[in-house]
Amino acid sequence: MRVISGTKKGLHLKAVPGQSTRPTTDKVKESIFNMIGPYFEGGSMLDLYGGSGSIAIESLSRGMDHAVIVDRDKKAIETIYSNLKLCKLEDQAEVFRNESARAIKAIVKKGLTFHLIFLDPPYKKQRLSEELSFIAEKNLLAPNGVIVVEHSIDVELDNTYVKLEKVKSERYGDTEISIYEYGK
């Protein structure tokens, strides 16, 4: 696993030890950023299921100013901190050990919005429809922002959630990437 592009290109990242996380492959990660970027001129991003922190680090490497990374697993949090330190990005990221539903409720209370939101829950424990609806209802996505959802091809997501519309979808083996934006 490595940083594919940007200011931290080529740096190798640590994976979370054990089988508790499913890392996004470099091929899928590169495809995601080609679909939504590939580079950014500032902004903030939320990775609600941080894993190793690789998506947030890639976003920062490609021009995002700030990342909020959430994961409930202790090993994942330790790996995220380690990878941020390795990439010298500690000052551009906030890391929280929390369950996703509690984390987005806390984010709402802080009044934060994000230009990029990445959702990649454990496939068997996903609550994506509820999370997408909540994110839309609470306006967590900044105007002109994008939500990237990585999910199993077995998960059927709606084309709309409140004000969000699916604008693109791609399959990679047993993984599907769905992109949502605010409807026009």
Q: b/e string for 167-180 if b means 16 or more Cβ within 10 A?
A: beeeeeeebbbbbb
In a domain, 14, yes or no: no
**What whole-number distance in Å separates Cα of residue 108 and Cα of residue 115?**
15
Q: For a pLDDT cut of 70, what percent of the chain falls above it?
A: 97
In a domain, 13, yes or no: no
- The pTM of this model reads 0.94
In a domain, 22, yes or no: no
Per residue in 45-93, pLDDT tens? 999 999 999 999 999 999 999 999 999 999 999 999 999 999 999 999 9
In a domain, 134, yes or no: yes
In a domain, 8, yes or no: no
In a domain, 100, yes or no: yes
Q: Which residue has the higher pLDDT, 46 or 124?
A: 46
In a domain, 41, yes or no: yes
**Domain enclosing residue 60, as ranges:** 27-182
SS3 50: coil
Q: How many distinct structural domains can be found in the chain?
A: 1
Please give the mean pLDDT across all residues of the chain. 92
Kindly give, in sequence order, each residue whose CB lies less than 8 Å from that of residue 3, ignoring residues fewer than 6 positions away.
9, 10, 11, 13, 54, 57, 58, 61, 87
The CATH number of whichever domain residue 115 belongs to comes to: 3.40.50.150
With cut-offs at 50, 70 and 90, classify the pLDDT of residue 118: very high
The one-letter amino acid code at 109 reads K
pLDDT of residue 20: 65
A 10 A CB-CB count for 153 gives: 12
Among 164, 161, 157, 163, which Cα is nearest to 177's? 157
In a domain, 136, yes or no: yes
Q: Which residue has the higher pLDDT, 133 or 1?
A: 133
